[in-house]
Amino acid sequence: MRAAAARYAGARVARVEDPRLLTGHGTFVDDVVRPGMLHACFVRSPLARARILGIDATEALAAEGVHAVFTAADLNPDVVEAWYTLIGRDVPDTPRPPLAEGEVRFVGDPVALVVADDRYLAEDAAELVIVDYEPLTPVPDYATAREAADLVHGAYPRNVAGDMAGPPLEQLAPAFEAAAVVVHETIHQQGYAQVPMETRGLVVEWSAPTGELTLWAATQSPHEVRLFCSRLLGLPEHRVRVLMRDTGGGFGQKVVPQREDMCVMLAARKVRGPLKWIEDRRENLMSAGQARHEHADARIALAADGTILAAAVDHVQDVGAYPTPWPVGTAAAVGMFFPGPYRVPQATWSTASVFSNTAGRNAYRGPWQMESLAREVLLDAGARRLGIDPAELRRRNLLRRDELPYFNPNGMPYSDITPLETFEQALKMLDYEAFRSEQEQARAQGRHIGVGTCTYVEPTTAAMALHATEGATIRIEPSGKVNVYVSGGSSGNSIETTVVQLAADALGVDIADVSTIQGDTAVTPFGGGAAGSRSGSMTAGAVGETAAVLRERIAAIAAHKLEAAPEDIELADGHARVRGVPESGVPLSEIAALAYFQPEQLPPGVPAGLEASGRYRPENPIIWANATHLCTCEVDVTTGEVRLLRYIVSEDCGPMINPNVVEGQIAGGVVQGIGGALLEHLAYDEDGNPVATTFMDYLLPTAADVPDIEYGHIETPAPGPGGYKGVGEGGAIGAPPAVVNAVADALAPFGVEITRLPLTPERITGLIRNASAPHGPRTTARVDDPNGPNGPNGPNGPDGPNGPDGTSSASATGGAISADVATSAGGESGADGVSGVDDASAAGSAGSAGGAVGR
Amino acid sequence: MPDAHAQQVAVEVTVNGTRRRAAVPPRLTLADYLRERCGLTGTHLGCEHGVCGACTVLIDGDAVRACLVLAVQADGAEVTTVEGIAAPDGELSPVQAAFRDHHGLQCGFCTPGFVVSVTAFLRDHPDPTDEEIRDGLSGNLCRCTGYQGILKAVRAAADGAAAAPKEHA
């Protein structure tokens, strides 16, 4: 017995989420209103590092409408357990107190929590809380933090949260010595962040008489929130209910509850009424977390013909003061995937996670993305040095289908990927040769256009711990209509539409006859949530396993009624019929009525009702996906402006459940990556003050900044349900290297190499100004020459594994940070941004504010 | 500043065709008035400093950021929120339908602001160039879609409106 061929999987089905969201009838956490609800506002540290000498809440407590002011002494002792299922209990987790205890460790560190009748009053009272600080010397720069005299956390010497490493670099010495060229650069990526359009927030309602806690969350994983909350408060899991209907984007920021969430959970039992906290944008940019701030001292050994002989990366990342969750293990992925989808015979890696007095690092779409940035930038640099076209160099090294499965030198077992195919497809979509001719002509006319690519392989659907399984419950109701229960919850990944498509196919019913209920832990099966590019494949598995049980039951009932063999029954168009006998159809509604209301007529051994639960456990621990990003750009060498001309993504996420959803995920990731390459910078000054805490300073890409994205699809099935692979994260991985390489290619006549992001106009004009002579022998441009005492990259290279490198590269980086800040606060956003504000507030007009965001 | 909150000002605002009277604190933003006093939670707050555009509503037909306007400033005005864009029977407006047809939304948080902004934009620019569309959208931020589906949706809505008979335009 089987369902008829898929009708909905593969189709551009309109989303079921859309009607409510388009008409203003979604339910985001700030839309939740409960009787007697109170509002929370945090008092946050204005200093990067200081000792808390005292907190005086007297005046705040006396203010109108104020119910309580909590400090660490009130909330922190109530913590029973605070660990994430995602990471596990037994990791050497970093500190994470709900409210700051004794010392504040970054600007924005929550110090006290004010509860009042409404948010206006809570904010008024927060200003009345007097905190006596003794300023301490901050450690604002992770790159120099290992040598700093001061410690972010006293228990962590050298400010190192943890480090990991592969084999010693010395083992690769013969390969590096034999190389025609060793490309060795330190690539620096600025801090940027997820920036969901909906900030964080939650509503917590405690019922003392029943011992039940209900929590409305903005989250990517309601079941993780429930588990975490139950452990935090020492409540049984089944007494905690987490609800979320719509979450306004997460991109990693909302995979686990953070410190503020802990505070609200803890405080909710101490106030009379449900407690709501909605973060404002300033708080979000100041304290919801940072990502991407890291550098990679990377080297690749190349033979004269461009063959890769060996690759090594020493990676250092900023984890801020309170990384969430534990960041050390994740960082290893940067090393493991550094060889990428290339034939790399030998490799090694090391990684260090370093504290600083800044916002804590958290997960962000392709958290290991630095591997692609460092590798792809170095490959282009190597091609230039060898005089080989970068496309040709990649062709010679990309893995071919006939080499799969392939273990990369770090033991990653790639399979079912198509790196060379996506690469060739992207080049063909551009007409690479034609572009090179056009480039030659443009250069002759003094125009600077360039092309860059990034080819990566990406782990998706990693089936571990929280993410090991996924469940579904399907209820075919007595009328024959279908409800599908999965953990899910809409956070922008179209999971409701996906579930409805898959279930309609699996049961052979019309899509209009299927609904899905998600995001309520009281009624949905346990599930890991939206993370790690897992929802498509895992949900397909869960729906598939559960639907199979019901198909078998339906077939048994229909066969009994039609006096046929169950294996001859097929389900299509909402009917069960004998294959090849179209007129034999029994409507599903009739079968459901039998199953519920006339159980005596069911065949022997068939249970009553048409409801089943199933749980999918993947056979493969990882499903690999891959893509090539290709970008062309024109750089105005006078103004430093980068204009993206074409953007092509050729990807292989297996068969597509819904091409609209796949392309939407890619486009969203790509534009985040473009933002990271060109615009976004979560910058701090040398005292650890965040200088990008509004959208006038933190520049998100707008519709005016993005190119049309062109898609090429190669659909190689993975060894899982439907052959589906993950696609949520890849866009954000591939875009920064493709953009950087395109800009570097455009600027190649100047002898410019790019080693530091973002590529603001100031940075680009500086690169050109400071570049060595065209076609010089060694072409590393010192981005930080004007400020830093010394270039970080070349000098300390060839020998000595990590220690000396780290040291000298770190001190130079320190100099550069202040330059970045000056850039960000000044030219990039200052003048234009300020006039923008004036326009916007004066006119209050969408039109004028639009123009005014000004970049 | 307890006084700022205790003081109340009478306002009369017509919201989506319904006349409403209320006494509000002078500092209450229009966005909070709509969300909390009128229960119209489709107007979303993404930045509260006038950049992201999620809170865009129409005041007497002009697209305005409801986070930058005080409720008292809307006294006597006609306000249209995203809840007032679709037909009373729930039928999507041409702009809303185009967003659905072209995957113009994902998480949906910025969507109400886009729908309202685009509705006003196409009314004022019934036959826009692609460049004008990009400029017209540049005051609304979206973090999910990369704007690809939104740009397609606005193009389609513009073309549909231009092609449609006058009474539907």
Query: Mind giving me the DSSP string for A557-597?
Result: HHHHHHTS-GGGEEEETTEEEETT-GGG-EEHHHHHHHHHH
Enumerate the CATH 3.10.20.30 domain ranges in chain B, comma separated: 2-84
Could you tell me if B135 and A850 are in contact, meaning their C-beta atoms sit under 8 angstroms apart?
yes
Is there a contact between B105 and A21 if contact means CB atoms under 8 Å apart? yes
pLDDT, tens only, A37-73: 999 999 999 999 999 999 999 999 999 999 999 999 9
DSSP class of residue A603?
A: P
Q: Which domains does chain A have, with CATH numbers?
A: 2-25+474-616 (3.30.365.10), 32-136+197-249+254-287 (3.90.1170.50), 158-193+289-462+621-828 (3.30.365.10)
Q: Is the pLDDT of residue A803 over 70?
A: no
**Does the beta-carbon distance from B139 to A847 stay under 8 Å?**
yes
Q: At a CB cut-off of 8 Å and minimum separation 6, what does A775 contact?
A: A751
**How many residue contacts between A and B have a Cβ separation below 8 Å?**
250
The alpha-carbon gap from B153 to the nearest alpha carbon of chain A, in Å, equals: 13
A784: pLDDT strictly greater than 70: no
Q: Let me know the angle formed at the C-alpha of A414 by A413 and A416, rounded to the nearest 5 degrees.
A: 135
Residue A799 has pLDDT above 90, yes or no: no
For residues A620-640, give the mean pLDDT: 97
Given a contact cutoff of 8 angstroms between Cβ atoms, the answer to whether A475 and A611 are in contact is yes
Q: What is the pLDDT of residues B73-127, one digit of tens each?
A: 999 999 999 999 999 999 999 999 999 999 999 999 999 999 999 999 999 999 9
CA distance A169 to A36: 62
Question: What is the SS3 assignment for A367?
Answer: coil
Alpha carbon of A755: minimum distance to chain B alpha carbons (Å): 26
Q: Identify the band that residue B4 occupies on the pLDDT scale cut at 50, 70 and 90.
A: low
**Which of the four pLDDT bands, split at 50, 70 and 90, describes residue A794?**
very low
Interchain pair B111, A198: CB under 8 A: no
**CB contact, 8 Å: B29 with chain A?**
no
Show which of residues 34-53 on chain B sit within 8 Å of chain A, judged by CB atoms.
Answer: 35-36, 40-53
Q: Do A708 and B52 touch (CB under 8 A)?
A: no
Q: Searching chain B, which residue's CA lies closest to the CA of residue A837? A: B50
Place of tokens 């924005």: A108
Task: Find where tokens 């000792």 sit.
Answer: A51
B8 at the A interface (CB within 8 A)? no
**Buried residues in A515-544 as b, exposed as e (16+ CB within 10 A):** bbbbbbbeebbbbbbbbbbbbbbbbbbbbb
Lowest mean pLDDT, pick from A321-330, A409-418, B141-150, B154-163: B154-163
Nearest CA in chain B to A247: B107
Nearest to A492 among B54, B90, B106 (CB): B106
- Confidence check: pLDDT of A816 > 90: no
Shortest distance between the Cα of B17 and any Cα of chain A, in A, equals 16
Tokens 């091609």 belong to: A383
CB contact under 8 A, A26 and B54: no
Q: Could A709 and B146 be called an inter-chain contact, meaning their C-beta atoms sit closer than 8 Å?
A: yes
In chain B, list all ranges with CATH 1.10.150.120.
94-164
Q: What is the pLDDT of residues A171-207, one digit of tens each?
A: 999 999 999 999 999 999 999 999 999 999 999 999 9
Strand segments (E) across A666-789? 709-713
Instruction: Tell me if chain A has a CB within 8 Å of the CB of B127.
Output: no
**What backbone torsions phi and psi does residue B135 show, to the nearest 5 degrees?**
-60, -45
Q: How far is A709 from chain B (nearest CA, A)?
A: 7
Which residue of A491, A663, A669 is in closest CB contact with B107?
Answer: A491
Closest-CA distance, B24 to chain A, in angstroms, reads 13
Mutation target vs A (from B5, B8, B15, B47; most A CBs, 10 A cutoff): B47
Cis peptide before A758 (omega within 30 of 0): yes
Mean pLDDT of A606-632: 97
- Of the partner residues B5, B109, B133, the one whose CB lies closest to the CB of residue A198: B109
- The domain B2-84 is placed in CATH, from the list 3.40.605.10, 3.10.20.30, 3.40.50.720, 3.30.390.30, at 3.10.20.30
Q: Which residue of A has its CA nearest to B43?
A: A24
pLDDT for the residue A2 = 56
Cα–Cα distance measured from residue B139 to residue A696, given in angstroms and rounded to the nearest whole number: 12
According to the model, what pLDDT value does residue B162 have? 61
Of the listed ranges A123-127, A763-767, A813-817, the one predicted with least confidence: A813-817
Q: Are A506 and A551 in contact (CB under 8 A)?
A: yes
- Please indicate whether, in this complex, the C-beta atoms of A694 and B48 are within 8 angstroms of each other: no
Q: What is the pLDDT of residue B3?
A: 58
**A845: chain B residues, CB-CB within 8 Å:** 62-65
Q: Do A841 and B68 touch (CB under 8 A)?
A: yes
Is omega for the bond preceding A168 within 30 degrees of 0, making it cis?
no
Taking CA–CA distances from B124, the nearest residue in chain A reads A847
Nearest-CA distance from A845 to chain B in Å? Answer: 4
If you measure CA to CA, which chain B residue comes closest to A698? Answer: B51
| Least confident stretch, A464-468, A515-519, B104-108 | A464-468
What CATH fold (topology level) applies to the domain B94-164? DNA polymerase; domain 1 (1.10.150)
pLDDT digits (tens, 9 = 90+) for A352-378: 999 999 999 999 999 999 999 999 999
| B169 in contact with chain A, both atoms CB, cutoff 8 A | no
List alpha helices for A563-698, DSSP H. 588-597, 659-678
Q: Are A10 and A248 in contact (CB under 8 A)?
A: no
Structure-token pair, residue A333: 């992925």
- Among left, alpha and beta (phi > 0; psi -120 to 50; other), residue B58 is beta
Rg (CA), chain A: 28
pLDDT at residue A246 tops 50:
yes
Contacts of A837 in chain B (CB under 8 A): 49-50
- Judge whether B130 is closer than 8 Å to chain A, CB to CB: no
How near does any CA of chain B get to the CA of A266, in Å? Answer: 26
Q: Does B92 touch chain A if contact means CB atoms closer than 8 Å?
A: yes
Rg of chain B on CA atoms, in Å: 16
Question: Per-residue pLDDT for A836 more than 50?
Answer: no
For residue B52, which residues of chain A lie inside 8 Å, CB to CB? 197, 281, 695
**What is the predicted pLDDT for the residue at A4?**
57
Give me the percent of chain A exceeding a pLDDT of 90: 89
Q: How far is B109 from chain A (nearest CA, A)?
A: 5
Which residue does chain B place closest to A493, by CA atoms?
Answer: B106
Our CA-based measurement puts residue A197 at a distance from the nearest CA of chain B, in whole angstroms, of 6
For residue A294, the number of C-alpha atoms closer than 13 Å in the C-beta half-sphere is 29
Distance from CA of A646 to the nearest CA of B (A): 13
Interface predicted TM-score (ipTM): 0.96
A23 closest CB neighbour out of B45, B86, B145? B86
What pLDDT was estimated at residue A6?
75
Task: Find the CB nearest A22 among B92, B136, B139.
Answer: B92
Contacts of B89 in chain A (CB under 8 A): none
Q: Is the pLDDT of residue B169 over 70?
A: no
Determine which of A15, A16, A18, A631 to mutate to test the interface with B (most B C-beta atoms within 10 Å): A18
Preferred mutation among A20, A22, A39 to probe B, highest tally of B CBs within 10 A: A22
Mutate to test the interface with A, among B37, B85, B103, B107 (most CBs of A within 10 A): B107
> In this complex, do A695 and B146 lie within 8 Å of one another by their Cβ atoms?
no
Residue A846 has pLDDT above 80, yes or no: no
Residue A771 has a pLDDT of 85
**What pLDDT score does A772 carry?**
60
If one compares A298 and B4, the residue with the highest pLDDT of the two is A298
In this model, does residue A845 exceed pLDDT 50?
no
